[in-house]
Amino acid sequence: MKLAVINFSGNVGKTTVARHLLAPRIPGCHVVAVESINADDGQPVTIRGRQFAQLQEFLQSVDNVVVDIGASNVEELLKLMRRYRDSEEDFDGFIVPTVPARKQQQDTAATLAELARIGVAPEKLRLVFNQVDDESPIDRTFETLLAYCASSGGVQPRPAALLSFNEVYALVRGTGQSLAELAADRTDYKAEIARAGAQSDKLALAHRLAIQRLARGVIPELDACFAALELQRLPSGEQAMPAA
Ligand SMILES: Nc1ncnc2c1ncn2[C@@H]1O[C@H](COP(=O)(O)OP(=O)(O)O)[C@@H](O)[C@H]1O
Ligand SMILES: [Mg+2]
């Protein structure tokens, strides 16, 4: 299974979706962040032809990979995909996260339109409704984007492919651990807090307890979102993705 996570917008959750939703649920999955290619000088990076060639070669050499395409690279990448005819076929699917803000919904529609233009079939596209507010229904929150989907006859929205707003994604960054590791942490922090002497130690342990609880709480939602994506129904999914 080879997936690209893509959107013209930054801050829609591409990196979050790649690392926490997709990669942990695909056996032996590599994550490639296109924005990190030669990004060590701190300048925004665009993929050049040679790097794109390397990316394509890498894609041929692995079975399961998620490519997280940073927003500054998307247009360049799509241009290169047009030049390297049929290279979009290297991907089984294109995962497009989106968030409620109107500007991001418009950018998401533009991303879907561009993918259609380079020849990606609608069946290869999946939206992920990210940072959803539990109180408001998807059809209201994402009205702009859903109207585009209905009128373009392209991607079929799967309303259950959603991730709620959850502070765990920000917290997990500071820990250097994965959500699965944090959820599997068996430490009894309540007992440790009771044993700790200094208040600062108690507070540090209370922070760990909060992360452990949030991590355990979010895993079922990630599992449900992943199932709702129905990646086994991608055109090449049956071979690429053994049934769970
Ligand atoms: N469902 C969510 N709930 C809360 N925060 C989120 C969620 N998804 C992403 N974030 C946060 O939003 C910010 C942008 O997400 P990120 O995955 O880095 O987006 P992108 O890669 O598209 O720029 C990050 O700080 C991330 O932790
Ligand atoms: Mg990112």
Across the chain, what does the average pLDDT equal? 90
- Whose Cα sits closest to atom 14 in ligand 1? 11
Ligand 2 midpoint to CA 19 (Å): 10
Predicted local distance difference test score (pLDDT) of residue 239: 60
* pLDDT tens-digit series, residues 151-183: 998 899 999 999 999 999 999 987 888 898 999
pTM for the structure as a whole: 0.91
Using the predicted structure, report yes or no on whether residue 38 has a pLDDT greater than 80.
Answer: no
Q: Is the pLDDT of residue 2 over 90?
A: yes
14 lines ligand 1 (CB under 6 A): yes
Give the separation between CA 114 and CA 78, rounded to whole angstroms.
Answer: 8
Q: So where are the chain's domains? A: 2-166+220-240
* DSSP output for 127-162: EEEEEE-TTS-HHHHTHHHHHHHHHHT-S---TT-E
Per the structure block, which two tokens stand in for 240?
Answer: 């690429």
pLDDT digits (tens, 9 = 90+) for 46-60: 667 778 888 888 999
CB 142 within 8 A of CB 108: no
- The Cα 37–Cα 58 span in angstroms is 13
Read off the pLDDT of each residue in 137-161 and give the average, rounded to a whole number.
95
Q: Ligand 1: which of 169, 214, 221 to mutate, judged by most atoms within 8 Å of the beta carbon?
A: 169
Residue 33: pLDDT band (50, 70, 90) is confident
Is the pLDDT confidence value at 111 over 90? yes
Instruction: Name the H helices within 18-142.
Output: 49-61, 74-83, 102-117, 138-141
CATH number of 2-166+220-240: 3.40.50.300
Q: Are 50 and 86 in contact (CB under 8 A)?
A: no
Q: Is 12 in the pocket of ligand 1 (CB under 6 A)?
A: yes
> How many other C-beta atoms are found inside a 10 Å radius of the C-beta of residue 233?
12
For the sheet with 30-33, list strands across it: 30-33, 65-68, 2-5, 93-98, 125-132, 162-164
Residues, beta carbon < 5 Å, ion ligand 2: 14-15
Residue nearest to atom 9 of ligand 1 (CA): 13
pLDDT score, position 153: 85
Q: Give the pLDDT mean for 222-234.
A: 97
The answer, yes or no, to whether any atom of ligand 1 lies below 6 A from the CB of 166, is: yes
- Output the pLDDT for position 39: 47
User: Does the beta carbon of 108 lie inside 6 Å of ligand 1?
Assistant: no
Give residue 207's identity as a one-letter amino acid code.
Answer: H
Give dist(CA 25, CA 186) in Å, integer: 21
Whether residue 92 contacts residue 64, with contact meaning beta carbons closer than 8 Å, is answered with no
Query: What does the pLDDT average to over 90-118?
Result: 95
